[in-house]
Amino acid sequence: MSTLVNNRFQSFTMKHQAPKLNKLLNFVINKPGPPKRIIQVQYDDYSKMKNDQFVWFGHSTIMLKVADKVIMVDPTFFSIMGTKHFKYTQQLDFSSLPTIDYLLITHNHYDHLCIKSIKQIASKVQKVILPLQNKQFLKKIFKDSQMTELDWFESIIQDNLTIKLLPSKHYSARGMCDKNKSLWGSYQVNDVFLSGDSGFSPDLVQKVSKSLTVRPKIAFVECGQYNLDWHDNHLLPEETNDFFNVLGAEVMVPIHFGKFCLSLHQWNEPVQELNKICDKMFVGQIGKIYDFTFVLGQKKFIDPVWDVALK
């Protein structure tokens, strides 16, 4: 269960420090732009998705089909404030998306709870699952009866699905005065783990691992938009690998990159760094449908679009 202090949710051993002016200037001056070339994507016929398949749309946007139900996570299809979307070879046709049985939101940051994107798919969404105090952001889009809020370690069990909200080491905010007034987290959906955004702490990882209903086959783990200056909130590549190893999942699919430049690292650095240390990773093409069995059958796979040679 999460903890409220003065009406604000608490994270795991979080230490917030105000950024120094020189670091802010360095970030503004040296922030890299998007890749110079257009990224090759492949948008498939999503009406034909089968059980145990998934699609990664870049950043943390994932669609998977499990137990005959389609689950969409953190849909973000447009540029966000002050940040340009990478150029892709195709534009997604939203009409190609199937009925979305469950929309999962991990937290309320603009690159995860994108109102414009959610409005585009709202007519296809049946039910919405959110951490506590997040309904308020979607009340003009969905009926209250469509939305369910969960606390950490709470689950809903429906339609042969178990969807469980688990902790992450992060925070929430959509403005200057609402920091941590809504909850954030990660999810387990049957044998799939979805990390959301998180920093690393041994306590957190152990709690998450011990609270899993089953050992995950595939773990979508954040690795991107990291920086030592906000190390409390995001995983460095070596921590992404450590997180994955403690979870004990069979294969890691890294996420939180491939769509925006929100930090100082280069657009494909997360893949380059993970490639050096992780032997059980799968980095596919944005928009392409992949079978769980294919992903689990690869010791390591990195699509050529990321310009990274396997090691």
The pLDDT of residue 81 = 80
Q: Which domains does the chain have, with CATH numbers?
A: 39-306 (3.60.15.10)
Give the mean model confidence (pLDDT) for residues 177-185.
94
* 67 pLDDT above the threshold of 80: yes
Higher pLDDT, 2 or 170: 170
Q: Which residues pair with 149 in a beta bridge?
A: 130
* 18 pLDDT above the threshold of 50: no
Q: How far apart are CA 184 and CA 261, in angstroms?
A: 22
Amino acid at 159: D
Residues annotated within the binding site are 110, 234
Give the mean model confidence (pLDDT) for residues 203-230.
94
Higher pLDDT, 106 or 82: 106
Which among 180, 199, 305, 191 has a CA at the least distance from the CA of 256?
199
Considering only CA atoms, give the Rg of the chain. Answer: 18
Give the mean model confidence (pLDDT) for residues 235-252.
97
The pLDDT of residue 188 = 98
Q: How far apart are CA 264 and CA 252, in angstroms?
A: 24
Which of 79-88, 97-106, 178-187 shows the lowest mean pLDDT across its residues? 79-88
Which of 7-11, 28-32, 126-130, 135-139 shows the lowest mean pLDDT across its residues? 28-32
* 251 pLDDT above the threshold of 90: yes
* 133 pLDDT above the threshold of 70: yes
* 103 pLDDT above the threshold of 80: yes
- pLDDT digits 0-9 by tens, 261-283: 888 899 999 999 999 999 999 99
36: pLDDT confidence band, cut at 50, 70 and 90? confident
**134, exposed or middle or buried, with CB in 10 Å at 0-12, 13-18, 19+?**
buried
14: pLDDT confidence band, cut at 50, 70 and 90? low
Q: Are 253 and 216 a contacting pair, CB within 8 Å?
A: no
Long-range contacts of 122-126 (CB under 8 A, 24+ apart): 124/97, 124/98, 124/99, 124/100, 125/72, 125/100, 126/99, 126/100, 126/101, 126/102
Question: What strands lie across the sheet with 147-150, from one edge to the other?
Answer: 147-150, 125-131, 100-104, 69-73, 62-66, 53-56, 289-291
Q: How far apart are CA 309 and CA 84, in angstroms?
A: 27
Give the mean model confidence (pLDDT) for residues 156-160.
93
State percent of the chain over pLDDT 90: 78
